[in-house]
Amino acid sequence: MTATGGNGDDLAYWANAMKRLSRASEATQIAMEPSGALADRIFAERAMALAAPIRDTADEARLELIAFELGRQKIAIENRYIHAVIPLAEPAAVPGTPDLLAGVINFRGGILPVFRLERILGAGEIERSSTIVLGEHRPEFAFFAGAVEDVSTVGAASLRDVAWQGGGDAPAALGLTDSGLNILDGRALLSDPRFFIGRQGRPS
């Protein structure tokens, strides 16, 4: 590339060169930028990806359980359905009620029925050492149990979907762990009419 002689020609040449460079720069910038609609979609997808919660598969579908002995059986209920575990409380008998009702106790200023859960589950006679108060949002009823363990967790996906392994008539079971622990459905227990005074019959 050679420049023509004369100052006027040099100025014109460089002016044209600058215009060509400017147009080339603008074309490159446009080519590098997506169209408005495409840019909007890209930004929307990015925003959704950033807003999505981080999933920790190790913490998904975990059940917090409290296991306890009930005669010949060792079973568990989800922790959220157990309102409290208290020392053994001797209930006051209520005349004219079914044998399933052991009696009533005073629990934090209120009267709470105590049922013999072991008879429904076919667990046989139990060695009473504690009283478990069942209730998700408030105390509903209690039952006797043997040794009670600390809260533990299991993965819901690891449970075997099998029928109740005891010899009685459990309202429902969530499944069986690899170690053979029967997990009762706490919600089903709380809605079972046999645990309502005056409605003790088989669940519908």
pLDDT of residue 4: 46
Q: What is the pLDDT of residue 79?
A: 94
Is 141 in contact with 114 (CB distance < 8 Å)?
A: yes
pLDDT of residue 58: 44
pLDDT, residue 163, reads 63
* Residue spans of the chain under pLDDT 50: 1-5, 24-25, 27-34, 54-59, 199-204
Q: What pairs with residue 65 in β-bridges?
A: 78, 152
* Count of residues in the chain: 204
CA pair distance 9, 151, nearest whole angstrom = 91
pLDDT value of position 180: 80
Q: What angle do CA 94, 92, 203 make, to 5 degrees?
A: 50
pLDDT at position 129, please? 87
> Which pLDDT score is estimated for 202?
46
Give residue 33's pLDDT.
47
Cβ-based neighbours of 178, under 8 Å, separated by 6 or more: 158, 160
Q: Are strands 182-184 and 152-155 parallel, antiparallel or unpaired?
A: unpaired
